[in-house]
Copies of this chain bind each other. A is one copy, B any other.
Amino acid sequence: MPTIHDVARLAGVSIKTVSNAINDYPYMRPATKQKVIDAIAELGYRPNLTARNLRSGRSGLLSLIIPDLRNAYFAELADSVMRAADAQGLSVIIEQSGGEKDRELALLHSDRAQLADGILYSAAGLREDEAHLLTSVSTPIVLLGEHILHGPTDHVTMQNVEGARAATEHLISLGRTRILALGARAGQTDGSAGLRLTGYMQALDEAQLPFDPALVVDIVGWYRFTGADAMRRILASGIKFDAMVAFNDAIALGAMRVMQEFGIRVPDDVAVVGYDDIDEAQYSLPTLSSINPGRDEIATVAIRYLTERIASEVPLAPRDHLSQFELIVRESSR
């Protein structure tokens, strides 16, 4: 690989001049610049990014820590993040934590994460009361998701309470009164589950509908199969319901599948709204109503916060951003 010295020698100039040409330094004699350009072309010279990074102290790399790419929500989040990063000329290293606290901490402190200028950290294993551990990470961090709401750094996520309330209000507006809240535990108030349950209860309250704890169904791990399992338990228990707000799309799809097995018609017998608006919601049978959490906005703002943090000389106070959501009505609640 030719270096800046090779170019300088061939062009008959100093390396400073080559550097000037590469970096579009304005005060150059056009002829000199042309000589350099020709030499670069002849040698096929490419500036060495690592050397630049060492000089500048920046790598142009961001690290995105998420639980698991196989989870559609995170794959779509990663997609949004990469597009937003690309628009800023940044690349993204993705690291999977598996949602395990130890691995999350290891990734945050790893040499590899240190290579990145900043970290987008979608916490899943670390608890809010352990968030102070983040202060020992020297790389700037922006938090994503609901797991840690009040950490020592910026936090960007969706309007969970409002989204769940809108979903529930929508079902109430269809005349439904016994609405299953799939994915939470009665009394829970933190995390996505707690926040969404809060929104659900607000909507009931507002409509003066009674709150029945039996309609709140706890699910550990929001996957299609846990949603399906939960629905089997519900149906076996004989609880009556005419609608369901599921706290993510995966459990909604799993539960819908079981309902269909049992001959329950969606939306006629049970109207359903999910949460996250993953791609698949548009293709399921029936198509799934959902809350679009505003992923692009989350990604864009998170990257803006992060780049500001990276550029800042002084410590910044933690900021919070809640993206705009949208209720998408599809066949499952029409």
Residues of B within 8 A of A228 (CB): 283
For A250, the closest partner residue in chain B by CB is B283
For A223, the closest partner residue in chain B by CB is B283
Binding-face segment, A23-31, A86-94, A158-166, A209-217: A86-94
Residues of B within 8 A of A46 (CB): 111, 114, 138
Q: How far is the CB of A98 from chain B (nearest CB, A)?
A: 10
A283 contacts B49, CB within 8 Å? Answer: no
A261 at the interface (CB under 8 A from B): yes
A70 to B74, CA, bound (A): 9
Residues of B within 8 A of A282 (CB): 224-225
Q: How far is the CB of A223 from chain B (nearest CB, A)?
A: 8
Q: How far is the CB of A334 from chain B (nearest CB, A)?
A: 15
Binding-face segment, A51-59, A171-179, A238-246, A315-323: A51-59
A253 to B280, CA, bound (A): 11
B92 contacts A138, CB within 8 Å? Answer: no
Question: Chain A 49-84 against B: per-residue CB contact (8 Å), 1 yes, 0 no?
Answer: 111011000011100000011101001101100110
Q: How far is the CB of A206 from chain B (nearest CB, A)?
A: 35
Chain A interface residue number, banded: 35 or more
A274 at the interface (CB under 8 A from B): no
Question: Chain A 143-182 against B: per-residue CB contact (8 Å), 1 yes, 0 no?
Answer: 0000000000000000000000000000000000000000
Q: How far is the CB of A7 from chain B (nearest CB, A)?
A: 16
A199 at the interface (CB under 8 A from B): no
Q: A54-B54, A115-B49, A283-B228 are in contact. Are A93 and B96 (CB under 8 A)?
A: no
Question: Chain A 113-153 against B: per-residue CB contact (8 Å), 1 yes, 0 no?
Answer: 01100000000000000000000001000000000000000
A94 contacts B95, CB within 8 Å? Answer: no
This chain's copy number in the assembly = 2
A265 at the interface (CB under 8 A from B): no
Q: Which of A60, A68, A75, A83 has the most CB of B within 10 A?
A: A75
Q: A93-B92, A285-B257 are in contact. Are A68 and B60 (CB under 8 A)?
A: no
Q: Which of A49, A228, A261 has the most CB of B within 10 A?
A: A49
Q: How far is the CB of A89 from chain B (nearest CB, A)?
A: 8
Q: A254-B283, A285-B260, A285-B261 are in contact. Are A82 and B94 (CB under 8 A)?
A: yes
A9 at the interface (CB under 8 A from B): no
For A112, the closest partner residue in chain B by CB is B91
Residues of B within 8 A of A53 (CB): 50
Residues of B within 8 A of A261 (CB): 285
A47 contacts B82, CB within 8 Å? Answer: no
B280 contacts A93, CB within 8 Å? Answer: no
A279 at the interface (CB under 8 A from B): yes
Question: Chain A 271-290 against B: per-residue CB contact (8 Å), 1 yes, 0 no?
Answer: 00000000110111100000
Shortest 4 CB-CB distances between A and B: which pairs? A224-B283, A75-B75, A69-B79, A257-B285
